[in-house]
């Protein structure tokens, strides 16, 4: 039914019967099969203060604003500096970007109730009504979910994270929504099993320019993008990119992703070489 109902900013996937929406970066859409499928969960592992993730976050929200999608941006209260900005509330919140911040020290919270559980309750309430619920009739719209700093102790204990991500995926499967989970390398204690419940898994590695340890072949790029997993949900044929490792760089204010062109490791030395036409004296 999802492929039959028109949703602004979504198109039909050629490899499946589900709706497809852009992640915001054209080059990344091409690599992951045209974009994110509605109902998919994308996990992005990145270093702290990543330039790529900053542009991805902005492009993801900007793409939703262009098509009047709902945007649910969840942050831990510590990441917001103690403030909780809400750009849109009330009836207009479904069609405008807004941020919800969650604190593990909220008044009236149960000791066994994690912050991620509060996030799921808020998200479940939003997805159970129009225009995001798949079971309800009427016009439909897409909700773009973005969760920062997944794996942090502010959200929940590491051993509970896998269960919460599984519940989040179930919410997405029964609604018109897609989700980006961002987890930093340094502060994150997210188990590796989180990737099992994710449909798309990406890993970002920034390259420090001028560092002597950087491979000269990567000097023209700002970082490396690794595709660890691609969605195969309800697909007749899974999408396989030409490579799993790509280079990216910032060019004219946008992120450009391109294949790596690694030259052969040949150098000049004093060792004599024998050509094919050289006479060999046995």
Where are the chain's structural domains? 10-259
pLDDT at 181 over 80: yes
pLDDT at 231 over 90: no
Higher pLDDT, 3 or 245: 245
8 Å CB contact between 153 and 190:
no
**pLDDT tens-digit map of 202-216:** 999 887 654 545 555
pLDDT at 233: 59
Class of domain 10-259: alpha beta
pLDDT at 178: 92
Strands (E), the chain: 10-12, 19-21, 36-37, 41-46, 70-76, 97-102, 143-147, 177-184, 200-206, 223-229, 245-251, 254-259
User: Sheet holding 36-37: strands in order across?
Assistant: 10-12, 19-21, 36-37
Q: Which two tokens stand for residue 89?
A: 């509330």
Name the average pLDDT for the chain.
74
pLDDT at 113 over 60: yes
pLDDT at 177 over 80: yes
CB atoms within 10 A of CB 134: 16
Residue 106 to residue 121: CA distance in whole angstroms: 15
**pLDDT tens-digit map of 19-54:** 888 999 999 988 888 888 888 999 999 988 889 999
**To the nearest whole percent, how much of the chain has pLDDT over 90?**
14
């Amino acid at each position: 039914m999802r492929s039959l109902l028109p949703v602004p900013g979504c198109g039909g996937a050629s490899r499946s019967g589900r709706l497809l929406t852009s992640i915001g970066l054209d080059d990344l859409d091409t690599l992951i099969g045209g974009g994110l499928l509605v109902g998919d969960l994308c996990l992005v592992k990145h270093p702290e203060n990543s330039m790529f993730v900053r542009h991805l976050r902005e492009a993801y929200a900007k793409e939703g604003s262009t098509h009047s999608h709902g945007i649910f941006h969840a942050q831990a209260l510590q990441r917001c500096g103690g403030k909780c900005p809400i750009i849109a509330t009330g009836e207009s919140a479904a069609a405008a970007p807004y941020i919800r911040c969650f604190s593990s020290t909220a008044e009236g919270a149960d000791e066994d109730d994690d912050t991620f559980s509060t996030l799921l309750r808020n998200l479940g309430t939003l997805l159970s009504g129009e225009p995001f619920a798949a079971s309800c009739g009427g016009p439909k719209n897409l909700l773009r979910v973005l969760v920062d700093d997944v794996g942090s102790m502010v959200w929940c204990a590491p051993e509970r994270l896998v269960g919460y991500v599984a519940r989040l995926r179930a919410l997405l499967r029964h609604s018109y929504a897609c989700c980006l989970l961002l987890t930093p390398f340094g502060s994150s204690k997210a188990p590796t099993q989180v990737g099992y419940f994710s449909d798309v898994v990406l890993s970002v590695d920034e390259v420090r320019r001028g560092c002597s340890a950087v491979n000269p072949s990567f000097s023209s790029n700002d970082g490396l993008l690794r595709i660890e997993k691609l969605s195969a949900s309800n697909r007749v044929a899974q999408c396989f990119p030409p490579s799993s490792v790509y280079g990216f760089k910032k060019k004219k204010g946008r992120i450009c992703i391109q294949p790596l062109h690694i030259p052969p490791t040949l150098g000049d030395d004093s060792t004599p070489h024998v050509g094919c036409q050289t006479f060999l004296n046995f």
